[in-house]
Amino acid sequence: MKSQTVIPLIKAGTPAAAKAIHKLSARLAALERIDHSAFKARTKKAFGKEMLPDEVVSTILSEVRRNGDKALISFAQRLDGVTLTPKTLRVSDAERQRAYKRTDPGVRKALELSARRISDYQQRLMPSDIPAEATKGSAPGVKTGMVWDPLQRAGLYVPAGTAPLFSTVLMIAVPAQVAGVKDLAVATPCGKDGVVNDGILCACEILGLKEVYKLGGAQAIGALAYGTNTIRPVDKIAGPGNLFVMLAKRAVFGHVDIDMLAGPSEVLIIADSSANPAYVAADLLAQAEHDVLASCVLLTDSASLAADVAEELQKQLEVLPRKEIAAVALRDWGMILITRDQDQSVALANALAPEHLEVMTRNPQSLTRKLKTAGAIFVGAHATEPLGDYIAGPSHALPTGGTARAFSGVSVYTFLRRTSIIECDAAGLAELAESIEILAAAEGLAGHERAVKVRRN
């Protein structure tokens, strides 16, 4: 079949389907073990030996932690061919302002609209404090509640590889600002000339982000987590990135908090015979053009739609400017799976836990609450994934690699911490003291027991 050269077309229940589903289910582990010859040659040139991605990340983080700015400058030269100094690591006010002025007014206007929509959505999510109140039933003198506070300082990572994502500045910074974080540091790669993409700096200028560093990859994550002479450490790091950024965030978790694991992008589409093949193919390609590691999956109970989408992919791919990237993603991480029925499609989607999940069926709203593990759900034929990428309102910074089973996308909650409040008067403690003392004694913690008894006596 002609379409087989573009994307695997498989029927559920076959050995090929089982193998493809297993590969996607273990996507994060598979990405860690990536072993392309070109990558191995690059690591040998940069580090003196062939290394796997997690080994590269571990080496970089250790160097940054030990040598700070010196390591950052060294890696910028060795890995990216960029010459920096401690003074030029940070983007100057003049650089930001020039970038803003150079940016097309139409792009500025679109960024401002996007920022307003993101802010409006995030304000709707802001939680309220829970006043301290007595629990119903007993001990009215003991009151409990909870308060929310913004983080003091957060680090934001903005990708800028083959496609600088200035929209990401808005998607991670606006939720932090709505949450009330006052101190934000942005890290983003620069070109070999030491210049950061105009669109990224324009977005920073629109939001009033003045602390921007010319740093990418694992070294940027290390700098934000550990701090250097130039960069103060943060409390939390948020933002998507490539495989190395994702692995670095995982490695520094615990030293600082992270938003989630967000690496190579993913889309999974559930569609039936009512779906427009051109729409489905266009949305698969919109994800495939991101990265050769992007995952693009269609689950459908319609064999005719599957064939039509495969054919449409072939046609649309030919005119896609980034077709070389998209073709590799479709071949290596793409799949059209013909399922038994819609229930099987839903079950597989929940098992794969994709970053983006689109539903193009006759009654898409009926499936929304059955889908439990996606980063974001796009409902209906016109809810194309790029709507969420740019301007719908919810953040496009979402968990990948199956981690949507446990992680959620960036929002105000990412930048808030909650603190429980406990109040107690003498009568309240007296009413609960016996039970506290029994439990403390049973655990062998005499000091705990005594702390209660001294108040009772």
Beta bridge partners of 144: 133, 422
Other beta carbons within 10 angstroms of residue 19's beta carbon come to: 12
Helices and strands, number each (H, E), in the chain: 19, 14
Q: In what order do the strands lie in the sheet with 130-134?
A: 130-134, 142-150, 416-424
CA distances (Å), origin 266, targets 140, 185, 262, 285, 396: 51, 27, 10, 11, 12
Q: How far apart are CA 200 and CA 185, in angstroms?
A: 14
Name the residue among 336, 189, 161 with its Cα closest to residue 264: 161
Annotated catalytic residue 311: no
Of 356, 358, 385, 396, the catalytic one is 356
The token pair that represents 91 in the structure block: 């983007």
Annotated catalytic residue 312: no
* Structural element, H or E, at residue 153: strand 153-157
CB-based contact 52:33 (threshold 8 Å)? yes
Long-range pairs for 260-263: beta carbons < 8 A, 24 or more residues apart: 260/397, 260/398, 260/399, 260/403, 260/407, 260/408, 260/409, 260/410, 261/28, 261/399, 261/400, 261/401, 261/403, 261/407, 262/355, 262/397, 262/398, 262/399, 262/400, 263/28, 263/31, 263/293, 263/400, 263/401
CA Rg value for the chain: 25
Is 196 in a helix, a strand, or coil?
A: coil
On the CB side of 91, CA atoms within 13 Å amount to 30
What is the residue whose two structure tokens read 């427009």?
276
Of 355, 358, 385, 449, the catalytic one is 355
CB-based contact 377:371 (threshold 8 Å)? yes
Q: How far apart are CA 245 and CA 5, in angstroms?
A: 31
Q: How far apart are CA 359 and CA 272, in angstroms?
A: 9
Catalytic residues: 355-356
